[in-house]
């Protein structure tokens, strides 16, 4: 596998799912890596809940997200976001999706290997110590769950994390523990979910870290390992004007900064 769509943050919007479908049809990736954010970051409090804590509307959207992803028929690795979808429900709905769609892989604390790629990740909130009352993991627990990535012999190792590190991708609000995890595990590629305003790349040790932005804001990223290093990452967003998938060859050097969706 050499060509990937990197994305996050559909945030309960049907338009985000359509955008993901259009991107996949246009670019025909080998894999889709989704770094969390299915439900809105702050779900509205409602009186009619399912037996779980998601509203019936939110649950239908999560199911629709997995159905949309599954129908694309592309290897897809998914983690939950730091907030939005309770982990118990994410596990339940995700496991159902894995059974129905063999191409879907819930990579939260699980390693999947396909061809030359090994991928894992962790969702929820990552803190020095686990936070009471929310889905969070301490530094030690997160490191434990992700340790399988180091043991894989696949040459391309991919890590999915729900928050960006400090620096260009996360600014001063970036999670320093995310940076530490990347530096410790040193995957080939790390996909982090962060603000579309900080869409971009960052190097941590030997790892290429990419913040693709949120699909809900019209942004994503494209990685093609077959291109020259300076052309391997193409950022997709509403400010872009040209690029592969809209008439130009995938590795055209004029496209390497921005591309239309």
190-207 pLDDT, tens digit per residue, is: 999 999 999 999 999 999
81 confidence band (pLDDT: 50, 70, 90): confident
Which tokens is 31 given? 């894999």
Rounded to 10°, the helix 87-100/56-71 angle is: 40
| 212-231 residue pLDDT tens | 999 999 999 999 999 998 89
Q: What global pTM score does this model have? A: 0.89
CA-CA distance, 176 to 227, in Å (whole number)? 31
Q: Distance (Å, rounded) from C-alpha 195 to C-alpha 168?
A: 11
Domains of the chain: 3-43+56-259 (3.60.21.10)
Compute the chain's Rg from CA coordinates.
17
């Amino acid at each position: 596998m050499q060509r990937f769509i990197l994305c996050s943050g559909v945030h309960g919007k049907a338009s985000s799912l359509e955008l993901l479908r259009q991107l996949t049809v246009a670019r025909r990736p080998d894999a889709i890596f989704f770094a969390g954010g299915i439900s809105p970051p702050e779900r509205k409090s409602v009186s009619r809940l399912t037996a779980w804590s998601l509203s019936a509307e939110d649950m239908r959207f999560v199911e629709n997200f997995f159905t949309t992803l599954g129908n694309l028929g592309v290897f897809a690795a998914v983690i939950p976001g730091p907030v939005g979808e309770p982990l118990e429900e994410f596990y339940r709905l995700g496991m159902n999706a894995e059974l129905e769609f063999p191409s879907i892989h819930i990579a939260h604390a699980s390693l999947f290997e396909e061809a030359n790629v090994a991928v894992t990740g962790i969702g929820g909130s990552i803190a020095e110590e686990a936070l009471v009352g929310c889905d969070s993991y301490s530094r030690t627990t997160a490191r434990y769950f992700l340790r399988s990535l180091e043991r894989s012999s696949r040459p391309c190792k991919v890590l999915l994390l729900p928050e960006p590190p400090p620096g260009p991708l996360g600014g001063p609000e970036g999670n320093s523990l995310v940076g530490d995890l990347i530096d410790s595990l040193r995957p080939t590629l790390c996909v982090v979910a962060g603000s579309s305003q900080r869409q971009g790349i960052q190097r941590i040790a030997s790892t290429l870290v990419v913040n693709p932005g949120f699909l809900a804001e019209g942004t994503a990223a494209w990685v093609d390992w077959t291109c020259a290093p300076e052309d391997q990452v193409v950022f997709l967003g509403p400010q872009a004007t040209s690029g592969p998938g809209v008439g130009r060859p995938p590795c055209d050097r004029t496209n390497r900064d921005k591309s239309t969706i």
